[in-house]
Amino acid sequence: MQWYYIYTCLSLCMFVYTYIRVISFVFIRFFDVEKVLLPEIRSSAEVYGTLVDGPLKGLPISGVLGDQQAALVGQLCFNKGQAKNTYGTGCFLLYNTGADIVQSDSGLLTTVAYKLGKDSPTVYALEGSVAIAGAAIRWLRDNLAIINSSEESVSSPPCCSTICGLSTVTTKAHITRAALEAVCFQTREILDAMNKDSGIPLTSLQVDGGMTQNSLLMQLQADLVGIPVVRPSMPETTALGAAMAAGHCIGVWSLKPEDLTAITTDVFTPHITETDRDARFHCWNEAVKRSMHWETSANHSGISRTFYD
């Protein structure tokens, strides 16, 4: 039996220097791991083995990527300055920086995006995430019963969830829309950081994941980031990306730009002005400030209570 590992995952586990793609002996000593136990490192488009049983017996396993990197490939983000956002339980953004290894000053991760073949160039990316996206919609549905399904509709330890601006005319629809907007505002924060770190302003955003079936969310996202949001007709881009790498490896198809065909998409363009967009973002940041600095302490009776510092 043979074991292999891919750069896209191993670099995030700290066992490989992202910059030169070799084993990091510093981290091996830190984690007390014997180098002899580590698997051979391979690219995302090489034959790792073959299936030995079942109806697909003999089929080569020739495409292996991390899930977010696979979605980047499935979205055809092969050019420097392209990015995708996957909307699931959380949001996961990857921004293609090409052959450049960009050190983030904003807390983003620098990672290997993909390497589609042993002799192919390594492509890097900036990665950022939103902890709560679809999970917030499920909370509205399962805990508060505000909505019946997800189709209807800043990570800091001392930061609590808050709903600001409630009044006597607030309805379930207002709260649901606010939850969707929260996802979009957090996505904008990450994209702003990526634009700043890379120096290449994003001109459109590729999107995928279960939440993208909500067209209101997609329109809100386009409005709040100020660029077109592109939703492919094929929603399972993670699986598609792995399949593309596998087929490319064994010669079923080519991933050269001139050989790729356009995919069917829905494009959501911004409908609000830059002034309105910035004003909404300012209000969002003010609301975030009001959710911070909550701490838990014990009162005189020993009962835990929460207060605003």
Number of domains in the chain: 1
pLDDT at 224 over 70: yes
In a domain, 78, yes or no: yes
Least confident interval from 57-61, 144-148, 204-208: 144-148
Note the pLDDT tens digit of each residue in 228-237.
999 999 888 9
- Full DSSP string of 45-60: SS--EE--SSTTTT-E
In a domain, 128, yes or no: yes
pTM: 0.80
What is the three-class DSSP state of 10? helix
In a domain, 138, yes or no: yes
Strands (E), 15-108: 40-42, 49-50, 60-61, 83-87, 91-98
In a domain, 59, yes or no: no
Predicted pLDDT of residue 117: 92
Note the pLDDT tens digit of each residue in 20-52.
445 555 666 666 766 556 677 788 899 999 999
In a domain, 26, yes or no: no
Domain hosting residue 212, numbered range: 67-241+251-282
What CATH number did the domain enclosing 204 receive?
3.30.420.40
Predicted pLDDT of residue 14: 58
**Percentage of residues in the chain with pLDDT exceeding 70?**
74
> CA 252, CA 81: separation in Å to the nearest integer?
28
In a domain, 274, yes or no: yes
Predicted pLDDT of residue 302: 52
pLDDT at 171 over 70: yes
Angle at 207 between CA 206 and CA 210, to 5 degrees: 165
In a domain, 146, yes or no: yes
- Residue 5 corresponds to which tokens in the numbers above? 């590992």
In a domain, 121, yes or no: yes
Position 117: which residue type? G
**Residue among 38, 50, 52 nearest 4 (CA):** 38
Mean pLDDT of 94-106: 92
Write down how long the chain is. Answer: 309
Note the pLDDT tens digit of each residue in 146-170.
445 544 434 444 455 677 777 888 7
